[in-house]
Structure 1
Amino acid sequence: MHPTNLFFSNDTLDSFYSIGLFLVALVGIVGFLLLVKEKQDHKIRKLLDDKNQFFSIISHDLRGPVGAAASLSELLAEDIEKYSREEIREISEMLYQSNKNSYKLLENLLEWSRVQTGMITFSPEKIILNTLIEENIELNKNAALNKNIQLSFEPSGLIEVEADKNMIDTVVRNLLNNAIKFTDKNGKVEIRLLKTDRKVEISITDNGIGIPDDIKDKLFQINRKVIQKGTENETGSGLGLLLCSEFIHLHRGKIWAESNGGNGSTFKFTLPFVNAGSN
């Protein structure tokens, strides 16, 4: 009636069933661990690629200002008697600009490394964006005056957001600095602040040299080299934009660029909206 009973007892069948379940579970666990390992390996490879690209950017862009500073310092140290007061002043100004470029690059380098190593903490608080933007305009006033660039700010009321002040400060500072860098003398840079659909949008527009399409597609990506000099041969590594992208991502916002080559450019980013008042 039951031929299987001639070969296997019920206990034996139960054992085979348990072993089968165990093997299936074991295969599933091993498969899951292999998948996790593959993802971790991919993540490690990406981090290594990003690190290599990062150091490539730093080594390339530090070489320029540091080399220029060394050469200018050598001129002053060895042949200062040969130069007039006006020539010394010009050399000192060039030396100052080289050191300033190096400092900006190292400042962004420090911020970037802190983000990548988890040393920087995201500390949101309620801040008035109008005040933050006005403070950054004041900081960049001299740079704009040197090129006779008009800075204008058009807020849409008093807008408050919950954000990390230091991070948003860095974003506005980098974007405003870039706008001045890539705008010709007697140009104009406009900052707009408005609320749209439960979000705040900040835009910085210039009427400068614009961004070519082949460069625009590479912005905010560490694995894509971006080389574009300012209107007075100011250097840039693109590291500042990478920082901006990281900081806006932490705020769950968006950042992007709009430009037609030769017709200026606009950088925009969004933040979650908190509150608004009136001027």
Structure 2
Amino acid sequence: MLQLLNSLEEKGNITREKALYYIDVIKKSSNSLLSIINDIIDSSKIESGAYKISKQENIDIVYLVEETALNMSEYINNNGIELIINPEIEELPICCDSKEIERCVGNLIGNAVKFTEKDGKIKVLIKEQDNTVSISIEDNGLGISKDDQEFIFKRFEQGGNVNLLYWESYYRNNIYYEWILSGHW
């Protein structure tokens, strides 16, 4: 963002169209930075035990996950990727924090889009077993080697074969996902 501003300062006058383009770039960059900062703050709160969730009764988890995925379908399709939503159940009311579930599912799908090539597939699977709901996001993207999978949830560690962008994307949210999805409700 600073490079962009420095470039604008050096060039002087720019057209309105170019200015609007640069404003859009700045907005997107600012939102991305804000998201990273919020994730770091949330991770710190989780680790210290200060993170609060707001559970609500009778949230249809199937509907919630489907709607979250469908809200991302245009983004997914624009990347040339097929979205497949395959719930094994029609509805399942549970007690959960719907905003946190949306955030987890949205981030996982976003990561899948980042690392799935054009003509790839992202599957959203929902099933109930043993009085538990299972939500899976599968893709045919880059993947993480078996050797590196043990490092995914360890803070400040990185697998040897995982490229930096891939690791950063997983690292930012994995403490959060692990806490939300491991039953600390």
The TM-score range, normalised by the shorter chain, is 0.7 to 0.9
Q: Distance in 1 between matches of 2:20 and 2:10?
A: 13
Shift of 1:245: 0.3
Answer whether contact 1:73 1:95 (CA < 8 A) is retained: no
Paired residues, number: 180
Shift of 1:240: 0.7
Shift of 1:194: 0.7
- The residue aligned with 1:153 is 85
SS at match of 1:236: helix
Q: Distance in 2 between matches of 1:181 and 1:194?
A: 25
Query: Structure 1-normalised TM-score?
Result: 0.55
Matches within 5 A, 1:1-279: 69-79=1-11, 81=13, 89=21, 95-126=26-57, 127-156=59-88, 157-225=90-158, 227-229=163-165, 236=169, 238-251=171-184
Answer whether contact 1:125 1:162 (CA < 8 A) is retained: yes
Unpaired runs of 5+ in structure 1?
1-68, 253-279
SS at match of 1:185: coil
**Greater C-alpha radius of gyration:** 1
Q: Distance in 2 between matches of 1:153 and 1:203?
A: 10
Shift of 1:182: 1.1
Answer whether contact 1:112 1:243 (CA < 8 A) is retained: yes
Answer whether contact 2:126 2:135 (CA < 8 A) is retained: yes
- RMSD after superposition: 3.0
Q: Distance in 1 between matches of 2:123 and 2:20?
A: 36
Answer whether contact 2:54 2:96 (CA < 8 A) is retained: yes
Shift of 1:197: 2.1
Query: Structure 2-normalised TM-score?
Result: 0.78
Shift of 1:155: 1.2
Shift of 1:132: 1.4
In structure 2, relative to structure 1, the CA distance for the partners of 1:96 and 1:188 (3 Å cut) is farther
Unpaired runs of 5+ in structure 2?
none
Q: Distance in 2 between matches of 1:109 and 1:247?
A: 15
Q: Distance in 2 between matches of 1:79 and 1:113?
A: 42
Shift of 1:210: 1.4
- The residue aligned with 1:275 is none
Q: Distance in 2 between matches of 1:163 and 1:148?
A: 33
Shift of 1:149: 1.9
